[in-house]
């Protein structure tokens, strides 16, 4: 390997300036470090080498330059009579996939089921290296996901604001429908919002908590046990936002690249209900959007994101 690289650089020094050759030498050094022999760069090898470079914390621009230089080096090798493969089509597909993934990551407005589980597991202390948080934040996260409320609205909800209706389906089956009254919404408006429990066990958590509260109690009232006392607090929006900011930081320190944003819980509620067939005008009323176009924009953006995910699956 090194013999071929040295010969290649020696020939370049005859026709290129010193700085250009030094840069090429630096770029090809990554190939020398990767393998003692000249690898055949088929699709699998290209993806393997890419992961190797990413693990060295190199920027994507540098990685592109390395691949470009290796391609030129392999063209020179082919001119010398060596038939070594370099799959340029696979390389283009790789960078198209990475570009699409970065675009998806930067614009994503809702959480996938896997991301929701990751956040909830982090709060429960079910992830290695992350300690369990106060259970009130687990309940808050579920509530934001199932109601679409803003944090400022959620922390003001009292027990008396919950309404459970029992209706009969066409098949004669009795079902519960949960609503919550938002007394202090944006711009001071009141509204009634559907609570849609995406998992049955989440409803049980709410039923148990409501049993322990008086009608006037704030739903997000919680207790903290100290060595000699037990103190009761009511969650504030400032405290909740600070919690999610710290949780995101903690997750990123453990290598989980995820944004923990309360507004994204709200957007997740919108997209989940829309994909389940709820009319967009109803969803707009429930989340308190003054314009239905705002709700529709979030839903359509999610549809585009899902289309992009399908493209990524086919590229990989």
Residue pair 86/18 in contact (Cβ under 8 Å)? The answer is: no
Residues 172-188: tens digit of each pLDDT: 788 889 999 998 766 56
Q: What is the pLDDT at residue 179? A: 95
Would the pTM of this model clear 0.75, i.e. be above it?
Answer: no
The whole-angstrom distance between residue 26's C-alpha and the CA centroid of its chain comes to: 35
Mean pLDDT, residues 51-68? 83
pLDDT cut 90: percent of the chain above it: 38
Q: What is the pLDDT at residue 100? A: 47
Neighbours of 58 (CB within 10 A): 15
Structure tokens at 300: 């359509």
Which among 108, 158, 203, 289 is annotated as catalytic? 289
Which among 68, 189, 263, 304 is annotated as catalytic? 263
What is the CB-side half-sphere exposure of residue 222 using CA atoms within 13 A?
A: 15
Q: Which residue has the tokens 């009579």?
A: 81
Q: Among residues 241, 271, 247, 243, which one has the least CA distance to residue 259?
A: 247
Which among 111, 196, 269, 299 is annotated as catalytic? 299
Which among 186, 191, 199, 241 is annotated as catalytic? 186
pLDDT at 59 over 90: no
Residues 267-302: tens digit of each pLDDT: 899 888 888 888 888 888 998 887 777 777 776 766
What is the CB-side half-sphere exposure of residue 284 using CA atoms within 13 A?
A: 14
pLDDT at 262 over 50: yes
**Which CATH class for the 2-106 domain?**
mainly alpha
Which among 264, 266, 269, 272 is annotated as catalytic? 266
Fold of 113-159+198-315: hpI Integrase; Chain A (1.10.443)
Residues 100-146: tens digit of each pLDDT: 455 445 455 788 888 999 999 999 999 888 999 999 999 999 999 99
Which among 24, 108, 109, 150 is annotated as catalytic? 150
- Whether 289 sits among the annotated catalytic residues: the reply is yes
Beta strands in the chain (DSSP E): 162-168, 174-182, 191-195, 221-226, 229-234
Q: What is the pLDDT at residue 154? A: 94
- Whether 266 sits among the annotated catalytic residues: the reply is yes
- Whether 23 sits among the annotated catalytic residues: the reply is no
Neighbours of 264 (CB within 10 A): 20
Q: What region, left, alpha or beta, does residue 190 occupy, with left being phi > 0 and alpha being psi -120 to 50 degrees? A: beta
Residue pair 215/159 in contact (Cβ under 8 Å)? The answer is: yes
* DSSP letter assigned to residue 186: G
In angstroms, rounded to a whole number, what is the distance separating the alpha carbons of residues 159 and 234?
A: 13
Return the domain boundaries, the chain. Answer: 2-106, 113-159+198-315
Report the 3 state secondary structure along 283-307.
HHHHHCCCCHHHHHHHHHHHHHHHH
């Amino acid at each position: 390997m090194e013999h071929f690289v040295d010969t290649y650089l020696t020939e370049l020094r005859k026709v290129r300036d010193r700085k250009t050759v030094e840069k090429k030498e630096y770029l090809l050094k990554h190939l020398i470090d990767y393998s003692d022999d000249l690898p055949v760069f088929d699709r699998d090898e290209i993806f393997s080498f890419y992961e190797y470079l990413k693990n060295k914390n190199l920027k994507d621009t540098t990685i592109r330059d390395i691949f470009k230089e290796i391609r030129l080096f392999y063209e020179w090798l082919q001119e010398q009579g060596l038939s070594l493969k370099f799959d340029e089509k696979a390389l283009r597909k790789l960078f198209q996939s990475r570009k699409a993934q970065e675009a998806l990551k930067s614009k994503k407005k809702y959480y996938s089921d896997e991301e929701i589980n990751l956040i909830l597991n982090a709060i429960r202390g079910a992830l290695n290296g992350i300690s369990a948080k106060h259970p009130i934040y687990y309940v808050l996260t579920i509530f934001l996901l199932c109601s679409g409320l803003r944090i400022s609205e959620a922390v003001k909800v009292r027990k008396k604001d919950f309404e459970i209706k029992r209706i009969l389906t066409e098949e004669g089956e009795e079902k519960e429908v949960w609503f919550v009254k938002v007394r202090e919404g944006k711009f001071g408006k009141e509204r009634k919002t559907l609570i849609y429990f995406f998992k049955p066990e989440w409803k049980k958590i709410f039923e148990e908590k409501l049993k322990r509260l008086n009608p006037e109690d704030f739903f997000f009232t919680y207790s903290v046990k100290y060595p000699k006392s037990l103190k009761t607090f009511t969650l504030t929006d400032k405290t909740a936002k600070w919690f999610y900011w710290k949780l995101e930081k903690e997750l990123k320190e453990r290598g989980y690249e995820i944004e923990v944003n309360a507004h994204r819980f709200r957007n997740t509620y919108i997209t989940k209900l829309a994909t389940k067939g709820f009319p967009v005008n109803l969803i707009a009323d429930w989340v308190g959007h003054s314009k239905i176009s705002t709700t529709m924009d979030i839903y359509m953006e999610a549809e585009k994101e899902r289309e992009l995910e399908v493209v990524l699956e086919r590229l990989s």
